[in-house]
Amino acid sequence: MRTKIFLVPDDERVSEDEENERDEYEGGMFLDKESIQIIYNALHEYKPTEKEEHLHSVLLEEFEEVLVVDYDEPYPDVN
- Residue extents of the structural domains in the chain: 2-71
Question: What torsion do the CA atoms of 45, 36, 68, 6 make, to the nearest 10 degrees?
Answer: 110
Mean pLDDT of 17-31: 66
- Give yes or no for residue 31 having a pLDDT over 80: yes
Confidence category of residue 46, pLDDT binned at 50, 70, 90: very high
Residues 6+ apart with CB under 8 A from 44: 60, 76
- Give yes or no for residue 43 having a pLDDT over 90: yes
Confidence category of residue 64, pLDDT binned at 50, 70, 90: very high
